[in-house]
Amino acid sequence: MAFNYEEDFKNTDFRKEPEKYRVGRGEQGVLLVEPYKSEILPHWRFKTPEIAKESSEKIYEMFEEYRKTDDFVGMDMARKFIQMGYTRSRRYANYKGGKKYDSDGNINERRIDDEKAESASIFEEKWIEIREDEDYLKRKKEHQKKYG
C-alpha cells in the first residue's frame, strides 16, 4: 500500500510520534501536522500590521513554549507558520486579493499594498530571528540526523 501523505498525516499525533515528522522545505505540511496546526492556526493572521504584530508575537511565544518543553516539532511548526505569515502577506502586498494569476493563467499586474508589505516585514523579522537561532538550528540538525 502506497504512502498517502495527507491521509497518513491526518491520523498521526506528531507530539506523540515525533519520529514521523520530517522538517521538509519551507512551509511544506504546515496545515497537516497535528496537534500543532490546531494550536497555532487560530493565532495566524496578517490583515493589518497591528494584527500581524500580535499574531507573529503570539506564534513566536508558542515557539518559545515548545522550546521549553523540548518539542522540536512544535518549534518547527511555529517557524513554518511565521514563514507562511511572511509569504502570504507578501503575496497580498504584491497582488490584489493575493491572486498572482488570473483565470487564464496569466500573471496579474503587480501592485504594492503598503499595509500588507508592512505585515510581511513584521513576520519576516520573526522568521529571520528563528532561522538564525542557534539552538533551533542545532535541534533541527539533531532531529534530521535521528529521524531523517
> Is the separation of the CB atoms in 90 and 120 below 8 Å?
yes
Which CA distances in Å does 79 have to 34, 95, 106, 124? 15, 24, 32, 11
**Cα 50 to Cα 143: distance, rounded to the nearest angstrom:** 34
Q: Would you list the DSSP string of 62-96?
A: HHHHHHHTT-HHHHHHHHHHHHHHHHHHHHHHHSG
Hey, what amino acid is at 6?
E
- pLDDT digit string (tens) for 15-37? 999 999 999 888 988 999 999 99
**pTM (predicted TM-score):** 0.90
> Is the separation of the CB atoms in 56 and 90 below 8 Å?
no
- pLDDT digit string (tens) for 70-122? 999 999 999 999 999 999 999 999 998 889 999 999 999 899 999 999 999 99
Query: Which pLDDT score is estimated for 148?
Result: 84
40 burial (CB, 10 Å; 0-12 / 13-18 / 19+) is buried
70 burial (CB, 10 Å; 0-12 / 13-18 / 19+) is exposed
For the chain, the helix, strand and coil percentages under 3-state DSSP, each to the nearest 5: 65, 5, 35
